[in-house]
A and B are shown apart, each in its own frame.
Chain A
């Protein structure tokens, strides 16, 4: 029973974290049909921002969140204004490969500036704190904070998109940029806003993650691959879709735990003998593959 509860709660938790990482990706895609390959690098820069800021100012990593959000916004805006805006004029291939180049650029700048070694934060309110609810439900405080923040961020973005004039304007831009422009909506600014929000959610996610994970210039890849699967699974451009898909993927990564639970429940020898752990990401991408075959626009996708 402990294994079951432990697996479910941990799947939920890591799922909300995956969703948080995917949030910015889906916003940007929803707005402008651009897949931001550099998303993981934004995350990585968020991690470094917190690492260095908390070290330099001797403050708790949590207090660096506003700074990190600011860095993400500026990064998003600079990337949009200085780079992506020009890509939009180019052919589809340029849009596709442009952010890929941005990814390589940011990663290598980080490699040059910070070096390749693993770094971690070793002090802070969240670091090494664990909440134990018994029955195998153990929550590392970092992951819990990231999970809670993830839900908050999703709610905020959902409210912004559905309850405000700006959100409506963003939606209009996403649906028909030219039409929106004719209606007097500053589409350029809306795009920029999407990049600012996308960048900020990524760096903030990074800031929360660095309390638990070690950071290297390559860390983005680990999370962004899963984020891509999340966004595709939930539907490109769908905000609630990203949350549901994130949690779904979190659960899928816990399949090995569930497998163990059922093997001990049924007492079947062959189940105990087969280890599912090496296949945990295989299962994630398998789910992605099946969705692509059956429902290419994703679970909640509204763009065709």
Chain B
């Protein structure tokens, strides 16, 4: 081969690649940037989220045997059958990295919209970037109430936030005193009136702590101790001792996985007694929490948005759950179910918009109404607030409170105890203690 042909060959390579890229483009894909914590402290949850999103996009792009509209279309039909392409990025739990990734996705990858970011602190910076560039962002899994109190025009949140979740807890406590809880006779209020909380000192934890104080006041409970602790602690024994000194009836926590495990281990080693222990999702719902602590989790309550038990009472949830289990080897969790719902919402919004222009998507998102029977999560549906103080918040979401219980075969499962009408088992009360 002479020199000329070598040069010609080198020149041809980028040309061919360009054609290739154009070829893919011709198949019409709609790119959504997905920013999750795939490594770092919340990596375990990040992996769940990613799996949930991948499951949803598979169902959205193909015709699958699932009783939801998205599964029957095999693509976005209003966009000539365009397929959704998710571009995953890892924010490592770092808000400034998240913002950089969002800029890159918008400028370089030319995404139509953003989904993410789990950690409320990251969602805060990423949504600010989206707002600045006028790119729609759907948030599937961040629960800091403040996120929807900023009057953002390009931000929608499907998941209920911590105010709703914390209200659920107090509804459960109130229900306990009224004898509404399945399997528990009415409990005198004096038994459960003293609360103590330990939340991590982050956006998420601080908000939960404040909300607990607010509702305790409203529902007539007494918060005898509320602690904010440094997240990812090497040791939590002083925190636990401080809680113990307050002699609470009910202990409330907001922690991510490693802290949640260390917290329960420390509670156990200090022989802490409480009638109720409740975790605000996050670490308390992570599969590692259950697998590392084994029987010690029995009786602990966690709020969640999804428990595999829902699959027993909800047809779509059952169908998606079995597909998910086939592909990833374990059942849907609160994280993966919400990520699934986030992608599903994107698919429905794009379907309704029939365009990838930000303005059309904005209009579609503001008027979307997905009925509850389409969703895997036990909500009444998805409909975003277009006015009021909670702008962009899904008004039809609600939480679930589950309790870890051991079934006859010795398996530990999350049984639903709230809402009362969805309860799948008798609640264990009071907690046996470690």
Contact = CB atoms under 8 A, between A and B. Distances in A.
A278 B228 contact: yes
A39 to B, nearest CB: 14
A222 B232 contact: yes
A70 to B, nearest CB: 26
B217 interface: no
Nearest to A13: B237
Interface residues of B, number: 38
A109 to B, nearest CB: 14
Given A3-B241, A119-B288, A138-B271, A277 B234 contact: no
Interface stretch (A61-69, A88-96, A212-220, A232-240): A212-220
Interface residues of A, number: 40
A214 B262 contact: yes
Interface string A116-158: 1111101000001010100010101000000000000000000
A138 B261 contact: no
A223 B234 contact: yes
A254 B238 contact: yes
B258 interface: yes
A205 interface: no
A150 to B, nearest CB: 14
A278 B241 contact: no
Given A138-B269, A222-B232, A256 B43 contact: no
Contact of B245 (A116, A212, A260): A260
Contacts of A138: 269-271
Contact of B237 (A14, A214, A216, A223): A14
A85 interface: no
Contact of B238 (A7, A140, A222): A7
A116 B238 contact: no
Contacts of B286: 118
A124 to B, nearest CB: 13
Given A118-B257, A122-B292, A277-B228, A212 B241 contact: no
A116 B270 contact: no
Contacts of B40: 116, 218
B113 to A, nearest CB: 27
A278 B201 CA distance: 7
B228 A14 contact: no
Interface string A157-169: 0000000000000
A130 B269 contact: yes
Nearest to B288: A118
A288 B232 CA distance: 20
Contacts of B44: 116-118
A281 B234 CA distance: 10
Given A116-B39, A122-B294, A275 B228 contact: yes
A127 to B, nearest CB: 9
B235 interface: yes
Contacts of A301: none
Interface in B201-255: 201, 225-230, 232-235, 237-239, 241-242, 245
B265 A212 contact: yes
B370 to A, nearest CB: 32
Contacts of A132: 271
Nearest to B261: A214
A256 B242 contact: yes
A6 interface: yes
A178 interface: no
Contacts of B234: 213, 222-223, 226
A176 interface: no
B105 to A, nearest CB: 23
A254 B237 CA distance: 8
B238 A120 contact: no
Given A222-B233, A254-B238, A275 B257 contact: no
Contact of B235 (A7, A128, A253): A253
Contacts of B294: 122
A128 B292 contact: no
Given A3-B241, A214-B261, A281 B39 contact: no
B358 interface: no
Contacts of B43: 116-117
Interface string A235-279: 000000000000000000111110010001000000000010110
A295 interface: no
A260 B258 contact: no
Given A3-B245, A118-B258, A14 B235 contact: yes
A117 B288 contact: yes
A189 interface: no
22 contacts: A11-B238, A14-B237, A117-B43, A118-B292, A119-B288, A122-B293, A130-B268, A136-B241, A138-B269, A214-B261, A218-B41, A219-B258, A222-B234, A253-B238, A257-B238, A257-B241, A260-B245, A275-B228, A275-B242, A278-B201, A278-B229, A280-B238
Interface of B: 39-41, 43-44, 47, 198, 201, 225-230, 232-235, 237-239, 241-242, 245, 257-258, 261-262, 265, 268-271, 286, 288, 292-294
